Amino acid sequence: MAGKITADALRLAKEIAREDVTTDYLNTELERYILSKGGIPIFKGYRGFPKSICTSINEEVVHGIPGTRRLKNGDILSIDVGVGYRKYVADAAVTIPIGQITKEAKTLIDVCENSLRLAIEVIKSNEKLSLISKTIQDYVESNSYSVVRNYTGHGIGRCMHEDPQVPNFVSKALLEADEILTQGTTIAIEPMICLGKCDTEVLNNKWTVVTKDRKLSAHFEHTVVVTDHGADILTV
């Protein structure tokens, strides 16, 4: 149920995210929806985060704080939502075009979403975790984009962040500690990709992560559970 509430909240976001709407309005409406379904907006207060959702615009990669900023035609908006329900947690994100966006921005969004889909398709029990990372990295880089390295997907279940970490790229450390996926493991896979370089920095608000070169970034995420036949997406 946590997954369904999360997915439905993101569907609502797609309906109401439009030009001249503030990100705080989105926060208020999605929080109201989550609470109306008996869920808990799990981001609110998490490690001190002040709002119920994350709203990251254009060069903002993740952890954007909703506020008075109004969406503009041509923006791309990444919304990340986490919901707790009866001691279980789900987490998902989408990147939404606002009005008419450039072809460059649309392709970035499409590649990010496709990388998530491809990663989910390779999951099954007894497969290596690194296959997820390799699938995302190979696809993204083959399309001439970069993969953010400072932030990763994660295990999820009773808590927002659990083991294992799920990087979107392959490293020596990942291969040395590679895990085998087992049936019932629940993970949040979340590619974050950039139009330019992958380097990021955190703004003075101590939360919002942006690309150093201030080029566009996109973010998609699903919570999935590993099964013998593949992976079931919980946030659809």
pLDDT at 93: 98
pLDDT, one tens digit per residue, over 208-223 is 999 999 999 999 999 9
CA distance 215 to 194: 7
CA distance 129 to 140: 18
Q: Return the structure tokens found at 98.
A: 């606002």
Q: Which residue has the tokens 């379904």?
A: 37
Q: Return the structure tokens found at 147.
A: 């993969």
pLDDT, one tens digit per residue, over 92-129 is 999 999 999 999 999 999 999 999 999 999 999 999 99
The percent of residues above 70 in pLDDT, for the chain, comes to 100
pLDDT bin (cut points 50, 70, 90) of residue 35 is very high
pLDDT at 67: 98
CA distance 211 to 217: 7
For the chain, the first-to-last Cα distance in angstroms comes to: 11
Q: Return the structure tokens found at 138.
A: 């190979």
Which residues have CB under 8 Å from 85's CB, separation 6+? 1, 2, 5, 37, 38, 39, 40
Strand, coil or helix: 180? strand
Domain that holds residue 25: 2-233
> Rg for the chain (alpha carbons), in Å?
17
Could you tell me which residues are beta bridge partners of residue 188? 154, 223
H-run or E-run covering 121: helix 103-121
pLDDT at 64: 98
Residue 177: HSE in the Cβ half-sphere, 13 Å Cα cutoff: 8
CA 118 to chain CA centroid, Å, is: 15
H-run or E-run covering 136: helix 130-142
Provide mean pLDDT across the span 76-84: 98
CA 100 to chain CA centroid, Å, is: 23
Q: Return the structure tokens found at 73.
A: 């035609």
Total tally of structural domains belonging to the chain: 1
pTM metric for this prediction:
0.96
Which amino acid belongs to residue 83? V
Whole-number average pLDDT of the chain: 97
pLDDT, one tens digit per residue, over 36-79 is 999 999 999 999 999 999 999 999 999 999 999 999 999 999 99
Q: Are strands 209-211 and 200-202 parallel, antiparallel or unpaired?
A: antiparallel
pLDDT bin (cut points 50, 70, 90) of residue 207 is very high
Provide mean pLDDT across the span 183-210: 98
Q: What is the CATH number of the domain that holds 103?
A: 3.90.230.10
